[in-house]
Amino acid sequence: MKDISTNEQNEEHAFSELSKPNKIRKGYKMKYAYINVEKLSSMEVRLLNLLDENKEVHFIFWKKDGSGEVRREARGTRNTEYIPREKWPKNPTDDVGSRINYYDFDREDWRSVSVGKLIEIKND
- Cβ–Cβ under 8 Å, residues 67 and 82: no
Report how far apart the first and last C-alpha atoms of the chain are (Å, whole number). 39
* pLDDT per residue of the chain (124 residues) written in tens, 0 to 9: 444 554 454 444 444 444 444 433 334 444 445 566 677 888 998 998 899 899 999 999 999 887 888 999 999 998 889 999 999 877 665 445 678 889 999 999 999 998 899 999 997 6
Distance of CA 14 to the CA centre of its chain: 17
**Nearest alpha-carbon partner for 21 in 35, 10, 9, 7:** 35
Question: What is the per-residue pLDDT across 18-29, written as a single tens digit (0 to 9) for each?
Answer: 444 443 333 444
User: Which CA distances in Å does 17 have to 3, 43, 120?
Assistant: 21, 26, 30
Domain limits, the chain: 6-121
pLDDT on residue 28 = 43
Q: Could you tell me which residues come within 8 angstroms of residue 48 by beta carbon, excluding any fewer than 6 positions away?
A: 28, 30, 35, 40, 78, 100
